[in-house]
Structure 1
Amino acid sequence: MSELREHLRLYLVTDPEMCRARGVVETVGQAVAAGVTMVQLRDKDISTRDRIALALALKDALQGTGVPLVINDDVEAATAAEVDGAHIGQGDMSSVEARARLGAGKILGLSCETPEAVVAADPALVDYLGLGPVFGTATKTDHATPIGLSGLAELAGLSRLPSVAIGGIKAMHHAQVLAAGADGSAVVSAICGQPDIAAATQAFFPEAQP
């Protein structure tokens, strides 16, 4: 579990539109080289077949880095591509079904927006929680009301599992996210589509700057 907490420290969620200039694979490669510790493939507008193909390309790009790759809301693709796991939301398939399909050795993440959802998350099925949205974000227009840093602290305090905060998080929020009790920040626009992917990633680690 401690290793997973470290992987959650800077968690990149891909966005096909924001990554369009470089492509998802190149964006992820640059971000991982600069310090991203986990990657989630999220593209809700392509077929499972295309998602599998993209996952295989990302898996190849991540080979040897030790950075886990999970797929959002497509356990079938995660299984077919043999990536590290999947991430599901409250409205997707149940944790019981997702775990049964993935198998015991894979990572399963679950999005939680309320204290009730956090408490209900079963550590026997789920490996980590995505908590939020912390702030409003244009990358997911159907998100729930932002919970803020105080709401994040409440959810993280209730969690029996490692957790990553998501929703409008920028580099300037990262220290506050960690202070609130989350193990890391999940980001989209703070890295995807930025003019300098490496610099945008390294901004989350100011203590490592010369």
Structure 2
Amino acid sequence: MTALDISLYGILDPARSNGRPLPELAAAAARGGATLLQYRDKTSDTRTMVETAHDILEALEDFDIPLLINDRVDVALAVGAHGVHLGQTDMETQDARDLLGDDAIIGLTIKNRSHATNAPVDLLDYVCIGGVFQTLSKDNPVAIGLDGWSSVAGHFRQIDHRLPVGAIAGIDETNCADVMSNGADGVAIISAMFMADDVEAVTKNLVKIIKESRR
């Protein structure tokens, strides 16, 4: 599988952008030091998603940052994205791997121990566990908290310590250090980055927090 850095994983969503163009936000996050980006869109039609993904990739041409597509393997294939992020009800990981090939990045959402136990680790490049905290960006009825995150992450640490394990949901500048200090390889962030007035500045501060927490 592909080695990658999930330290600061920004998720671009038109519903959490304050109406601003996603390519513009992607470039700002890239300048700020984001290490991985995902395009998530639960409402647009396929044509719009393909056009937007193309535009985001164009905005990232000068940066060495992978772009993943949430859920939609067809969109990832259409635009030549670097891979996909799958949820528990999306396409099976094996089918996505067969379609995208060995070089594609494939990540999976993990919400509980059952998901962790059944995860096809040999087919994955990373997992993201959550929701850690309450968030308005997604329907997470029960936040698992840092203890819950650690419990689920422990499963992956036991079976493959090389697999990057990230945290998602409700993470911002006030709690990012706690999450990283708890053992996360990275944080996936939506609103705290892309609802901010100055995306680049917030991203830079998050990078600083992540680096300091690793010391």
TM-score after normalising by structure 2 = 0.90
Q: CA deviation at 1:33?
A: 0.1
Q: CA deviation at 1:17?
A: 2.9
- Say if 1:34 and 1:202, in contact at 8 Å, map to a contact too: yes
- Say if 1:48 and 1:74, in contact at 8 Å, map to a contact too: no
1:65, 1:3 → 2: CA distance? 17
Q: CA deviation at 1:183?
A: 0.7
- Say if 1:174 and 1:184, in contact at 8 Å, map to a contact too: no
Match of 2:63 in 1: 65
Unaligned runs of 5+ in 2: none
Match of 1:150 in 2: 147
1:2, 1:18 → 2: CA distance? 29
Deviates more, 1:127-136 or 1:168-177: 168-177
**Percent identity of paired positions between Structure 1 and Structure 2:** 36
2:154, 2:181 → 1: CA distance? 11
Q: CA deviation at 1:144?
A: 4.1
- Say if 1:156 and 1:180, in contact at 8 Å, map to a contact too: no
Q: Secondary structure at the match of 1:135?
A: coil
Match of 1:30 in 2: 28
* 1:42-74 CA-partner distances (Å, limit 9, x unpaired): 011011221111111111111131101000010
4+ residue runs of structure 1 moved beyond 6 angstroms?
none
Q: Secondary structure at the match of 2:88?
A: coil
Q: Secondary structure at the match of 1:191?
A: helix
- Say if 1:11 and 1:184, in contact at 8 Å, map to a contact too: yes
TM-score after normalising by structure 1 = 0.92
Give the aligned residue type for 1:182. Answer: A
**RMSD of equivalent CA atoms:** 1.8
Match of 1:46 in 2: 44
Q: How does 1:171-210 map to 2 (within 5 A)?
A: 171-206=173-208
